[in-house]
């Protein structure tokens, strides 16, 4: 359970850092690239302190999966930063974490790690997951008109939903099928190194001038970013890789805590429809996984 609590805390810190990127005018791409280099350093130090291996076996199948994850990581992080800045922390966390519908389905129907039969209540929960994203992302009509987003308000949150779901599926599949228990940390390390290299190449291609604040922002984001993925893998391993149980527990905690942070720390105002979206998201999580939780 300690792994789950730590994973929730570090995920909240990630959304706070994304919010800070907008507040302090940090270039998203530059901040994310430095974040990934910090993730690599953090991962190397953390693994050595815990006595875990940092040796990379380039012949293992998971190595190539980790390299591919780098491109998905930086795309997902960039999208999450945009959603947090254009909407708020609550909407970003709901879009990101309601994506659990994707790995839950994958766990139950492909990996067969669930212990219960998927029933009508579970399917209702999946439908409510998408409804929750739409409701939580809803802005007032005046906001949509002034920002020119009436027809595309929900595109970014839905894109984030799909990317996040794909990331969770890949992590869960790799953890079950390709990784030995001691390889989880180094897999994460390689994935972040891949994202860092890809992002650096993008900056060089665009010939962007590096801003000092981007370095600072990357440091603030990098440490919790690495640890969030590390403790996700640890949580899965501690509960026999049962993604149908772990992802709902993690995401309920993240949605509730991020909503509290959004309102208490940043005084973000939520429309009634947004508040209903939060409630629906929690109901959806319970319906999707009630057999595993209770």
Nearest in space to 53 (alpha carbons), one of 184, 223, 238: 184
Specify whether the CB–CB gap between 227 and 6 falls below 8 A. Answer: yes
> What distance in Å separates the CA atoms of residue 203 and residue 211, rounded to the nearest whole number?
12
Q: What was the pLDDT predicted at 154?
A: 66
Q: Could you tell me the end-to-end alpha-carbon distance of the chain, in angstroms, rounded to an integer?
A: 16
- The length of the chain in residues reads 294
Cβ(185)–Cβ(52) below 8 Å: yes
Q: Measured between alpha carbons, how far is 11 from 163 in angstroms, rounded to an integer?
A: 16
Going from N- to C-terminal start, the domains of the chain cover 2-293
Please name the residues in contact with 207: beta carbons below 8 A apart, sequence gap of 6 or more. Answer: none
Rounded mean pLDDT of the chain?
Answer: 82
Instruction: Write the CA distances from 238 to 96, 246, 250, integer angstroms.
Output: 23, 10, 13
| Spatial distance between the Cα atoms of 233 and 29, rounded to a whole number of angstroms | 26
Q: Check if the beta carbon of residue 84 is closer than 8 Å to that of residue 18.
A: yes
What is the chain's pLDDT, residue by residue, as a tens digit (294 residues)? 789 889 999 999 988 898 888 889 899 999 999 999 998 998 888 888 878 777 888 889 899 999 999 999 999 989 888 888 887 777 788 877 777 778 777 877 777 665 556 778 878 887 887 788 777 766 654 444 344 454 455 688 889 889 988 988 888 888 888 888 778 888 988 998 999 999 999 999 988 899 999 999 999 998 888 888 788 878 888 887 776 678 777 877 888 888 888 888 877 777 788 788 888 888 987 887 777 666
Dihedral angle, C-alpha 106, 178, 238, 291, nearest 10 °? 20
Phi, psi of 22 (to 5 degrees): -70, -40
């Amino acid at each position: 359970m300690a792994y789950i609590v730590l994973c929730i805390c570090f995920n909240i810190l990630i959304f706070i850092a994304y919010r800070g990127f907008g507040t302090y005018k940090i270039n998203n791409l530059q901040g994310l690239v430095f974040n990934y280099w910090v993730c690599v350093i953090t991962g190397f130090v953390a693994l050595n302190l815990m006595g875990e291996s940092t040796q990379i076996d380039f012949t293992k199948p998971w190595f190539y999966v980790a390299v591919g994850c780098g491109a998905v990581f930086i795309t997902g992080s960039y999208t999450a930063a945009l959603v947090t800045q254009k909407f708020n922390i609550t909407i970003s966390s709901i879009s990101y974490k309601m994506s659990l519908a994707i790995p839950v389905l994958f766990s139950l129907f492909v990996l067969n790690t669930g212990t219960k039969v998927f029933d009508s209540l579970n399917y209702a929960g999946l439908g409510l997951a998408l409804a929750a994203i739409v409701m939580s992302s809803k802005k007032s009509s005046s906001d949509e008109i002034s920002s020119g987003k009436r027809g595309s308000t929900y595109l970014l949150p839905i894109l984030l939903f799909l990317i996040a779901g794909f990331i969770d599926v890949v992590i869960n599949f790799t953890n079950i099928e390709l990784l030995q228990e001691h390889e989880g940390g180094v897999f994460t390390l390689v994935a972040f190194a891949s994202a860092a290299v890809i992002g650096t190449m993008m900056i060089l291609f665009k010939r962007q001038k590096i801003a000092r604040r981007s370095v600072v922002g990357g440091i603030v984001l990098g440490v919790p970013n690495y640890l969030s993925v590390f403790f996700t893998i640890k949580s899965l391993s501690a509960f026999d890789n049962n993604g149908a149980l772990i992802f709902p527990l993690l995401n309920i905690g993240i949605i509730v805590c991020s909503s509290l942070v959004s309102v208490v720390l940043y005084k973000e105002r939520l429309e009634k429809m947004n508040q209903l979206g939060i409630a629906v998201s929690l109901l959806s999580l319970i319906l999707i996984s009630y057999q595993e939780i209770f």
